[in-house]
Structure 1
Amino acid sequence: MASDPKTFLFSDVSVHNKTKDCWLIIDGKVYDVTPFMEDHPGGDEVLLAATGKDATDDFEDVGHSDEAREMMHKYYIGEVDKATVPKKRTYVAPADKSYNPDKTQDFIVKILQFLVPLVILGLAFVVRSYTKEKSA
């Protein structure tokens, strides 16, 4: 670790959220994991998903090995000013207004669009058969 760690504001760390420029906050420490992106066993998407927030819980939930924890030292670049870290990540609505996070509703509509005509057709055959029997 650096002998005189630099202190970063959360806003300064959060802009490093790309594959070629990726910083993480874990336990109040800032890590530049850019050189590790291609080598991360979980893929770079996992690291990118941990940007823009305190990634401590994400890191701990995975259960990293002692070896992984030792590797972190070479990516350490400083500390984060904890007072600048939001308690919770702010939800940002998708720009695409047609986005539907609940695909279930779309699925049900499509099933109904398929089944309703079949039920009507089936009822028509039942009525036709019934009226033929009555007239015969």
Structure 2
Amino acid sequence: MATLSKLYSMREAAEHNTREDCWVVIDGKVYDVTSYLDEHPGGDDVLLSAAGRDSTADFEEAGHSKDARELMKAYCVGELDPDHAVIPELEVFRKDQSSGFTNKLKNITFEYWAATAVIGIAVVAGILYSRKS
């Protein structure tokens, strides 16, 4: 097996996390699986969920065959640079996803104001009703 000359940091690999540009890292090797998405027997969603991160554990848990391991070689684009293989834990946002936090905040804000409006209307209706009596 020839030595791969291209070294990537985990940060570089993590940038490739979309359907149009999908890389996975398995056992210290970097694979560009973009062209394989439609052919993957487990479906493209499996590879997309593994995109841009070290997916060694997921790959091993799936119990891939010898043939699958052999097929992977065609998609290998390099190796992780051992000096930059690990990045600190952080929340990674995909290029094509909006912030879940922002959406939750919008929903909470809407619910808060909706509840406040309902309570306000009930109080005003109660006051008006009591004045008529």
How far the C-alpha of 1:85 sits from its partner, in A, is 2.3
- Structure 1 counterpart SS, 2:53: coil
Contact 1:38 1:44 in 2 (8 A): yes
Matched residues in 2 for 1:22 and 1:2: separation? 24
Contact 2:24 2:30 in 1 (8 A): yes
Matched residues in 2 for 1:78 and 1:69: separation? 16
- Structure 2 counterpart SS, 1:79: strand
How far the C-alpha of 1:5 sits from its partner, in A, is 2.4
Deviations 1:42-67 (A, max 9, x none): 11111011123210001000000110
Amino acid at match of 2:11: S
Residue 86, structure 1, aligned to residue 93, structure 2: no
Contact 1:21 1:34 in 2 (8 A): yes
- Given the alignment, which residue of 96, 106, 109 partners 2:103? 96
C-alpha change, 1:2 and 1:36, in structure 2 (3 Å) is farther
How far the C-alpha of 1:16 sits from its partner, in A, is 0.8
Greater displacement, 21-30 / 1-10: 1-10
How far the C-alpha of 1:2 sits from its partner, in A, is 5.1
Q: Residue 49 of structure 1 aligns with which residue?
A: 49
Contact 1:53 1:85 in 2 (8 A): no
Q: Residue 36 of structure 1 aligns with which residue?
A: 36
The number of aligned residues is: 100
Contact 2:22 2:34 in 1 (8 A): yes
Root mean square deviation of aligned Cα = 2.4
Matched residues in 2 for 1:68 and 1:88: separation? 30
Matched residues in 2 for 1:39 and 1:8: separation? 25
Amino acid at match of 2:104: K
Percent pairwise identity: 46
Matched residues in 2 for 1:38 and 1:11: separation? 26
Matched residues in 2 for 1:47 and 1:69: separation? 15
Question: TM-score when scaled to structure 2?
Answer: 0.65
Contact 1:54 1:85 in 2 (8 A): no
Contact 1:32 1:77 in 2 (8 A): yes
